[in-house]
Amino acid sequence: MTSASIPKNGDNKGLLSVGVSIAAALAAGAIGGLATASSVTTWYAGLNKPAFNPPNAIFAPVWTTLYVLMAVAAWRVWRREPAGARRRTAVTLYAGQLLLNLFWSLIFFGLRQPGLALTEVGLLLAAVIATAIAFWRIDRAAGAMMIPYAAWVSFASLLNFEIWRLN
C-alpha cells in the first residue's frame, strides 16, 4: 500500500485522518452556507442574473462534492509527503484557499457585496490553482482532484462578474 492510497480495513489511522480532513472542509463550507442561507431566498432572489445561472438546488451538491474532493486531495498530500517545506507549503496553500472560499461566501452573501466578492474570487481562483500545482508536484491524483474545483471557481467567477455587471 502506498502512503497515499485509500485506507484499507484495519488502517484506523488513515480512516480517522481522511475523516478529519473531510470534516474540516465541510465545516468551512457549512459556515459559508450559514451566510448564504440568509440571503438566497431574499436578497439573492431579487438580483438580475445571467441566463446561465444554475438553479439554486445545484449549488449544495456541487459544493459538497468539491469539498470532499479537495479534502481527500489534501489528505493524500499529507500522507504522501514527509514533513518538511514542500508539505508545509502545499498544506498552507490549501488552508489559505479554504479560508478565501469561506470569505467569498461571507462577502457575497453575508455582506451582499458582489463587487468586492469579484475581487476576492480572483484571489480564490489564484490560490486554488497554486494549491493544485503544489498538490500535483507531490501527488498527481491529488492535483487532478483539484481540477473540478478550479473549473467551478472559474465558472463562479464568471457568474459573480455577470451578477455584479447586471446589478
Residue 2 to residue 118: CA distance in whole angstroms: 41
pTM above 0.95, yes or no: no
Residue 25 to residue 13: CA distance in whole angstroms: 19
- Residue 2 falls inside a structural domain: no
The three three-digit cell numbers of residue 105, written as one number: 461566501
- Residue 156 falls inside a structural domain: yes
Q: CA end-to-end span of the chain, whole Å?
A: 53
Instruction: Give pLDDT, residue 1.
Output: 41
- Residue 45 falls inside a structural domain: yes
Residue with cell 431579487: 46
- Residue 90 falls inside a structural domain: yes
- Residue 3 falls inside a structural domain: no
Its sign, for the CA torsion 17, 21, 27, 28, is: positive
The three three-digit cell numbers of residue 50, written as one number: 445571467
E strand or H helix at 122: helix 114-138
Instruction: Look up the CATH number of the domain holding residue 96.
Output: 1.20.1260.100
Its sign, for the CA torsion 161, 109, 63, 123, is: positive
Angle between helices 56-80 and 114-138 (to 10 degrees): 30
Structural domain span for residue 121: 12-49+58-166
Count CA atoms closer than 13 A to 92's CA, side-chain side: 7
Residue 80 to residue 88: CA distance in whole angstroms: 12
Instruction: Give pLDDT, residue 35.
Output: 86
- Residue 7 falls inside a structural domain: no
> What is the full per-residue pLDDT of the chain (167 aa) written as tens digits?
444 555 555 566 778 889 999 999 999 999 999 889 989 999 999 999 999 999 999 999 999 999 999 999 999 999 999 999 999 999 999 999 999 999 999 999 999 999 999 999 999 999 999 999 999 999 999 999 999 999 999 999 999 999 999 99
What is the residue type of 142?
Answer: A
Residue 108 to residue 84: CA distance in whole angstroms: 36
| Domain count along the chain | 1
- Residue 75 falls inside a structural domain: yes
Residue 72 to residue 75: CA distance in whole angstroms: 5
What is the residue type of 140?
Answer: R
Instruction: Give pLDDT, residue 12.
Output: 63
- Residue 62 falls inside a structural domain: yes
